[in-house]
Amino acid sequence: MVKAPRGWRHRTRHIYRKRVRERGAVPPLSQVLIDYKPGDKVVIDPNPAVWAGMPHRRFCGKVGEVIGKRGKSYLVKVRDGDVHKTIIVRPEHLKPFKQ
């Protein structure tokens, strides 16, 4: 029998896929250079071309709050069920939240 995959990115064929016109290895510089302040709301939108600092797939599409910075990455507080979790995410995988 074949065992089911247990890797970090298993079952992500459609989640981590870019559309045809979005393909390219380099994320736009305007997205990377956004400076988030503590208290800003952000959407976690992983860029599959950049592996470094990519959050787990369960946080894809969730809205979180920036609570700090650690090196190049941001500390983001996200609600996962009834628990608030702090994840470390690079700016390539974040977008500003617009209400």
pLDDT of residue 27: 77
pLDDT of residue 80: 94
Cα atoms found within 13 Å of the Cα of residue 51, Cβ hemisphere only: 2
Residue 24 lies in a domain: no
CATH number at residue 58: 2.30.30.70
- Whether 76 maps to a domain, the answer reads yes
Name the pTM for this structure.
0.86
The total domain count for the chain is 1
Largest CA distance in the chain: 50
Residue-level length of the chain: 99
- Phi, psi of 32, rounded to the nearest 5 degrees: -75, -30
Please check whether residue 30 lies inside any domain of the structure: no
The pLDDT value recorded for residue 82 is 95
Q: Is residue 51 one of the residues assigned to a domain?
A: yes
Residue span of the structural domain in which 65 resides: 1-18+36-99
- pLDDT given at position 34: 92
Q: Is residue 27 part of a domain?
A: no
Whether residue 53 lies inside any domain: the answer is: yes
pLDDT, one tens digit for every residue, the chain (99 residues):
899 988 888 888 888 888 888 887 777 788 889 999 999 999 999 988 888 888 998 999 999 999 999 999 999 999 999 999 999 999 999 999 998
Specify if 7 maps to a domain. Answer: yes
